[in-house]
Amino acid sequence: MNHDTPASQGLSLRSVKVWDIPTRVFHWLLAFSFSAAYLTSESERYRDWHVMFGYTVAALIVFRLIWGIAGTRYARFSSFIFSPSRVLEYLRSLLSSSPKHYLGHNPAGAVAIFLLLGLSMLTACSGFATYQEIGGEWVEELHEGCAATMLAVVAGHIVGVVMSSLLHRENLVRSMFSGNKSGPADQAIRKTRPLVGIILLVAVLGFWSADRFGWLPVSSDVAVTQQHNRHDHD
């Protein structure tokens, strides 16, 4: 069910909890991991870092797919699946004096989220194939194309967040830190699931530490194989 904020219905509004902790941890970890992977993509020196962040993106997407089913009210996909007509209706409302407001993800944001989830997984899978030298140059081109497209979607998403924040007079960036938005008290989530968020954060930080300190034998073996293959081609 889609949840509109009924501000126009005269209900009393207050700061209510909308985003659970796992959703917020996922959001910022994905933003950081994708940015780091993109910034290290052109340097052979930081190739291992690029791969590590790519694996992280893939793992985070798997988590989000699970959390989209098992998560709290506004994290579930069922709360922000909109028909094309609802998306167009929302976009048209942005041009009016009273843009339609959603307590959870709005239709435009929902489109961006699904695009980012799909592009992230496709980028990660094609990156893994490229790293394993599977598929040839077209896979590498697919990887680069997906990453560039994802960057464009991210840019569009940021513009949308800024516009929505101004139109609705609410700080959406801050809400993704605090988890709070303005809405009726009866539409707040009751549990924020902090344990799941802590486990997610610890798992990612643990993976980064293990990768950097060489505690992952499979990763080390792959790196050695890559080095041998590059020497063979020289």
Q: What is the 3-state secondary structure (H, E, C) of 134-165?
A: CCCHHHHHHHHHHHHHHHHHHHHHHHHHHHHH
Domain that holds residue 215: 7-233
Q: How far apart are CA 38 and CA 55, in angstroms?
A: 13
Distances (CA, A) of 129 to 55, 142, 170, 197: 12, 10, 42, 30
pLDDT of the residue at 217:
64
- What the block records as the tokens of 146 is 């997906």
Which of 61, 64, 35 has the alpha carbon at shortest distance from 50?
A: 35
- In a domain, residue 75? The reply is yes
Q: How far apart are CA 146 and CA 144, in angstroms?
A: 6
- Which residues are CB-contacts of 55 (< 8 A; sequence separation ≥ 6)? 124, 128, 207, 211
pLDDT in tens, 72-90: 999 999 999 999 999 999 9
- In a domain, residue 68? The reply is yes
- In a domain, residue 80? The reply is yes
pLDDT of the residue at 11:
58
Count of structural domains, the chain: 1
- In a domain, residue 1? The reply is no
Q: How far apart are CA 103 and CA 5, in angstroms?
A: 5
Helix, strand or coil, per DSSP, at residue 17: strand
Over the chain, what is the mean pLDDT? 88
- In a domain, residue 57? The reply is yes
What stretch of H or E contains 16? strand 13-17
- What the block records as the tokens of 9 is 């219905």
Low-confidence ranges of the chain (pLDDT < 70): 1-12, 217-234
pTM score of the predicted model: 0.87
- In a domain, residue 2? The reply is no
- In a domain, residue 174? The reply is yes
- In a domain, residue 203? The reply is yes
* CATH number of the domain enclosing 83: 1.20.950.20
